Structure 1
Amino acid sequence: MNNTKKEIQQYLLSKEENFSKPVKRRKQQSKKRFPSHLEEFATYLEKSGYSEAGLLIRKRRVMMFFRELEKISNLKINCLEDCKGITETCLKKYETHLEYRYSLKEISARTVYGYISYVKLFLDYLYMRNIINFEYIIPRKFIVPPTRSNDFVDAKSIMTLFDSVLNRKSEIKYRNIAILLIILDTGCRPVEISSIKLNDLNLTEKTIIVYSFKSGQRKLTLTDGKIIPYLKMYLQIRKDFDSTSDYLFLNETGEGITSSSITNMIFKENLKAFGKGKVNAKALRHTYTTNAVENKNDLKEISAALGHKHLVSTMHYLHRSKQRLISNTLPYDPLIAALKEDNNAD
């Protein structure tokens, strides 16, 4: 077994006392409602196959766009008719605002691209409805190509993060730790975790069913027994949410948590643990994959668990895993050092 995984399992064993602590009851919170023009937009997107969680994040991002427009252009949008006031000049100001936030390192280039992509989706809807008379094109400078990396997280950093989460006074820590453990144990993407419904979790079989547009649906086994107790404690808390949602993981307003909310939650937990962003969902997913590769699991099985459509995507991790092992080993290998000396002598 990989040392990283073994260290984390031993760490979880030392946290047994958390499973027997009483769970505090939470105050009920009213469910946030969106204005009718955003619900119309969501209905339009729903016909294109967007999930409930996907619709929620898009409505939130457009609401954020409205708030920014009011600040930078004095344009207040209360109904669809008000959207006629959105001009190309307004959008230039919005782009400049995002660039300024990026220059202050408040947001990343990928986040800027994400925000603009959500706005474009809404603007396309307005154009289709003849509410605006121009088609918005995302400027090339904002387009961020997808990156491929293999950010392996060491056991010490993961345990520091877990300790910070468990030391919180809020009972929501059980939801957060369960999400982190699932990502680390299965390699799920945040968008897939946001798709899990109550009926998709089988505590007896220790399995979950996840879905994403990219990878479709798949059933995964929760191999680490310590995930189940944290899930059970979260389920106790979940009963106190003022919610009719059938999604497993909820946000504080009782709605299904979105992938963006999961990303933000992990970032906030990082700030408390390290004072900066250090361990993100992508890094935990890559750590799961690297552990699986280094434990000599079947590559086809790893690929299926990750939801990779092509084996070449999984082979990328094998290549990066070998590079990491070599870089960690070579400086301490006397045989390699001797070979280097011989080569230098030649």
Structure 2
Amino acid sequence: MNWNHALKDYQDYLKIERGLSVNSIKSYSQDIQMLITYADENDLKEGPISITKDLLQQFVYEMAKKVNPRSQARIISGLKGFFNYLVFEDYRNDNPMDLIESPKIGRKLPDTLSLKEINALISAIDLSKPEGERNRAILETLYGCGLRVSELIGLKLSDLFFEEGFIKVTGKGDKQRFVPISEINKKYINIYRNEIRIHQKIQEPFQDFLFLNRRGAQLTRAMVFTIVKRLAEDIGLKKNISPHTFRHSFATHLLENGADLRAIQQMLGHESITTTEVYMHVNRKHLAKVLGEFHPRTNS
């Protein structure tokens, strides 16, 4: 088995067995492709079945000269998953990455926006332009429902269950969840689709997609990033924000106002509660308030 054959088999496994998205598979593949490129450039005769820990350790050492510790840790994690797959399929008896340690990195806390900053960004939208109503609906949905940008651009008219107060979201690995939607969020989506979108000439096969570009096609991730970046520049916001910042702010604000961590996990679509727990580290001020309000012996 050569490297490219092994990579193709692994990609099929991630897609079919693990149900991962195209973006996730691409990310995993990039880590392995780095190793393949290194093997080619150094004329290594060893393939995925025979490569040793020492050769992999040398590869990691070379990567450490080029990437930061966080990226290095991601590459090591990606390669461990790849060799675990080879062991699982009985191509190898061992995982040569098991004894290779990742660099120690601190937990990166997500950036957040205050409610005042979110309101300022939304207020900066030029509603005199047709795309203004769309952009307002986009920001309201990113913040109001805590969506990933990929989930936002994939949102369809058939996913809107406004009478029930929910939207159906398709997340990582095509896993679907229902997320509650507020009245103000419904209001701005309805303004966009009933006053702006209805007048657009929509291309095939995008009739069911909620958010469209000016050509009547599905909005791209890059366009949503551009919308957010330009609004930040317009109000002179010094923070480095992205569409994901609204998702972080959604979770942080819910937690600070007393929401249950499990409920936030469900709304965000996190498979593990440990992923959601990062928000416990963002702002601890509310924890003393929670203790004082709910612990039975606080005032004893």
The structure, 1 or 2, with the larger RCO (C-alpha pairs under 8 Å, 6+ apart) is 1
Identity %: 24
Q: Secondary structure at the match of 1:321?
A: coil
What amino acid is aligned across from residue 300 of structure 1 in structure 2?
R
Q: Which residue of 2 aligns with 1:175?
A: 134
The partner residue of 1:229 within 168, 172, 187 is 187
Q: Which residue of 1 aligns with 2:163?
A: 204
Whole-Å Cα distance in 1 between the matches of residues 220 and 67 of structure 2? 24
Q: Secondary structure at the match of 1:218?
A: strand
User: Does the aligned pair in 2 maintain the 1:178–1:230 contact within 8 Å?
Assistant: yes
The partner residue of 2:260 within 298, 307, 316 is 298
TM-fit CA distance, 1:212: 2.2
1:160 matches 2:120: yes
CA 253–191 in structure 1, closer or farther in 2 if over 3 Å, else same? same
User: Does the aligned pair in 2 maintain the 1:271–1:277 contact within 8 Å?
Assistant: no
User: If the length of structure 1 is used for normalisation, what is the TM-score?
Assistant: 0.51
Once the two structures are superposed, residues 212-271 of structure 1 have per-residue CA deviations (whole angstroms, 9 ceiling, x without a partner) of 225721111102x11112111211311213323121111222221122321222112222
TM-fit CA distance, 1:320: 2.2
The partner residue of 2:225 within 253, 263, 276 is 263
The partner residue of 2:111 within 151, 155, 167 is 151
TM-fit CA distance, 1:200: 0.4
What amino acid is aligned across from residue 134 of structure 2 in structure 1?
R
What amino acid is aligned across from residue 196 of structure 1 in structure 2?
L
CA 275–185 in structure 1, closer or farther in 2 if over 3 Å, else same? closer
What amino acid is aligned across from residue 171 of structure 1 in structure 2?
P
TM-fit CA distance, 1:275: 6.5
Q: Secondary structure at the match of 1:150?
A: coil
Q: Secondary structure at the match of 1:209?
A: strand
1:310 matches 2:272: yes
Q: Which residues of structure 1 form unaligned runs of 5+?
A: 1-44, 59-113, 125-136, 327-346
CA 273–250 in structure 1, closer or farther in 2 if over 3 Å, else same? same
Q: Secondary structure at the match of 2:178?
A: strand
- Count of aligned positions: 207
CA 270–241 in structure 1, closer or farther in 2 if over 3 Å, else same? farther
What amino acid is aligned across from residue 263 of structure 2 in structure 1?
E
User: If the length of structure 2 is used for normalisation, what is the TM-score?
Assistant: 0.58
The partner residue of 1:217 within 176, 180, 188 is 176
Whole-Å Cα distance in 1 between the matches of residues 67 and 227 of structure 2? 25
Taking only aligned residues, the RMSD between alpha carbons, in angstroms, comes to: 3.8
Q: Which residue of 2 aligns with 1:11?
A: none
Matches within 5 A, 1:77-92: none
User: Does the aligned pair in 1 maintain the 2:112–2:249 contact within 8 Å?
Assistant: yes
